[in-house]
Amino acid sequence: MSGHGAPIIGAEELVAAGKAGIRAVIVAASWHTQIMDGLIDGALRAARDAGIAEPELVRVPGTFELPVAAARLAPEFDTVIALGVVIRGGTPHFDYVCQGATLGLTDVSVRTGVPVGFGVLTCDTEEQAIARAGLEGSIEDKGYEAMSAGLQTATVLVRR
């Protein structure tokens, strides 16, 4: 399971982000509504746990559009949380979208210095995505994890 070995996210680390006044934006794709709703709910829950007012939510058509939206929004926020889901099909499209989103979001983070919480699910099946979406019965909550990672990294950078 991909969550094996993940750090335990404690309330102390999240509250530090809230106390630091971290400003977060969620950029979320629109495909796979049920899964995306779970990812967004998880990210919002992590923000609430940090004591952060509800972050702005920006929707884009798909995962491939996440990097351009993140690039435009990054200068206005301390962290950008990118949420999307790509499920493998029968063509190479999956590979191109996953690579484009991953490289694009990495570039945004490095180029702007604004951490990007990476909450893009790249799964072989819809069942795998549901298992990671933070829905009832899911075994992981990647939306929560992405927001937590973005908040914690932004907190470290704000302190410097």
Q: Is 93 considered catalytic here? A: yes
- Which sign does the torsion angle of CA 32, 54, 119, 46 carry? negative
Distance separating alpha carbons of residues 113 and 104, to the nearest angstrom: 14
The 8 Å CB, 24+ separation contacts for 136-142 are 138/38, 139/1, 139/3, 140/1, 140/2, 140/3, 141/38, 141/42, 142/39, 142/42
Distance separating alpha carbons of residues 122 and 117, to the nearest angstrom: 15
88 C-beta neighbours (distance < 10 Å), count: 14
Cβ–Cβ < 8 Å for 124, 130: no
Three-state SS for 158? helix
Query: Of 6, 93, 110, 111, which one is the catalytic site residue?
Result: 93
Instruction: List phi, psi (to 5°) of 79.
Output: -155, 145
Q: What residues act catalytically?
A: 93
